[in-house]
Amino acid sequence: MAKLILATFAVVFLALAATSLAGDPDMLQDVCVADYNPPHTHPRATEIMFVAEGTLDVGFVTTANKLFTRTVSKGEVFVFPRGLVHFQRNSGNTSALAIAAFNSQLPGTQSIADTLFGAAPPLPSDTLARAFQVDGGMVESIKSKFPPKY
């Protein structure tokens, strides 16, 4: 009964919120088997995600570097706090469908990998090498996979 009430609340909330949403992230996310939405953040919004089909492993990292993860199944909801790095991954053997809503019309999306390794102009390689405790050659190898967007 509690799950039914929660699912009903989520559907009503998403329906009411949908009329005011105009953000750049796609609110309907179709996640194929073994696919993922890589680590990213929404600097101006909290995200609520309702799983309509399938199963997703989701998680976020707090500002104290603590990871919170959960497997979210059909009919369940998960909230990603504003500005925190988070991800979603299809952990099932069928496609998953999730509906996301934000508490801002302009939540913004910042992909962590693209931001660090595909910035234009590029971040200094020695800065990234020190941050990740690897050599400059490794940083250059990773940067080559993220061409800058001018």
Q: Which residues are annotated as a binding site for Mn(2+)?
A: 40, 42, 47, 86
DSSP 59-92: EEE-TTS-EEEEEEETT-EEEE-TT-EEEEEE-S
Q: Is 139 helix (H, G, I), strand (E, B) or coil?
A: helix
User: What residues form the annotated binding site?
Assistant: 37, 40, 42, 47, 86
Cα separation, 95 vs 89, whole angstroms: 11
User: What residues form the annotated binding site for oxalate?
Assistant: 37, 42, 47
Q: Is 136 helix (H, G, I), strand (E, B) or coil?
A: helix
Q: Where are the beta strands (DSSP E) in the chain?
A: 28-31, 36-41, 47-53, 55-61, 67-73, 77-80, 85-90, 96-102, 110-111
